[in-house]
Every structure is written in structure tokens, then in C-alpha cells.
Amino acid sequence: MRIIAGNYRGKKLISPQRGDVRPTADRAREAVFNILNSRLDSAWPEYHLLDLFAGTGAFALEALSRGAASVCLVDINPADARKNTALFPQEQNKITLLSASAVALPPASRQFNLLFSDAPYKRSLSEPALISAYEQGWLAPGALCVIELEKNEVFAVPEAFELIDRRVYGLAQFLFLRLS
């Protein structure tokens, strides 16, 4: 695993130590960021990313490398994310780690205009996590949300969101939603 682009391009990340962590493949992550670059309304420094089911933190750290203003990594066991965020000592003021269940988030203390969610495949956690982020006030109006699922996994778009794109890369599908 490595950072693909931005200030930390080529920086190696520590691979997951737990068998239940499945990082987004570098190629798929690169494709998603290419799509995001065409979908974002502003430049990266205007974005605050909420990364649900953060795992290793690779997605959030990629966003940080590209200039995101801040990232918040949420995982029930953030040990892998903690190891990788430690590799970015000069960015610590932009990184928040939260040890919490993504499907039962606490009330938000701030809002995010970009969300990435990569729940364990085929466990029906993506919808409840997105609803939790919305209902607990984590998402700013108009937030762009990227949901990674197994390519055949069914996802019912919650009423407050609009599906704007869907892409499949290998075993993964990526849904791009906008909070109405």
C-alpha cells in the first residue's frame, strides 16, 4: 500500500495487521480519486473528510496528501489507522482518530463535506453507517459521499441522498451520493 498522489506521493503505508481489514486496492483508490477530482465543487483544501470503517486509514491519508483540510478516521479498532497516521507527523493537527462503531456514531462536534465508507463486505453495515452519520449531524448540507461495497451487494439509497454515479472495479462497487 502506498500514497498515490499529492504531497506524499509514493509514501509506503503499513499493511493491516488484522485479517478482517480489507484495504481498498491502490488501483481502485486511484480511480475513485480521479472521479472525485471531477465531482468536487472546490479544491481539496476546502474538504473535510469523514472516513467510516477507516481500517488502515489509506483513503483518508490519500485525501490528506492531496490537500484535504482535515480527516477524521472512524473505526471500532483504530490500531492500524493509528500506525499509519503516525507516519505523517507534520499533519497531526489535521488528523482525528475516533474509536467508535460507524453504525452508532455519537453526536457530531463538527461537520464534514466529504464522506468515505468502506464497511466489511456483505454485512449490511453501509446503510446504517450512512444514516448514523446523517442523523448524528456529521454531514454538512450537500456533502459528497462515496460508499464502497462488494460488487453484488445491494444498497438502498437513503431518502436524504441522491445517487449521482456508480462504478465497479474488480470485486468492488463505488456509489457516489450527494446529501440533498
Find the helix packing angle between 58-65 and 26-39, rounded to 10°: 50
Indicate the pTM of the whole model: 0.94
User: What domains appear along the chain, each with residue ranges and CATH number?
Assistant: 26-179 (3.40.50.150)
> What was the pLDDT predicted at 21?
57
- Strands 139-150 and 172-179, how do they pair? antiparallel
Q: What is the pLDDT of residue 29?
A: 82
Asked whether the CA dihedral 36, 38, 41, 44 is positive or negative, the reply is positive
Cell of 77: 479498532
Phi, psi of 107 (to 5 degrees): -60, 140
Alpha carbons 103 and 121: distance in angstroms, whole number: 14
Nearest to 21 by CA among 63, 84, 71, 69: 84
pLDDT in single tens digits along all 180 residues of the chain: 899 999 999 999 988 765 555 666 677 888 899 999 988 889 999 999 999 999 999 999 999 999 999 999 999 999 999 999 999 999 999 999 999 999 999 999 999 999 999 999 889 999 999 999 999 999 999 999 999 999 999 999 999 999 999 999 888 999 999 999
pLDDT value for 28? 82
109: helix, coil or strand?
coil
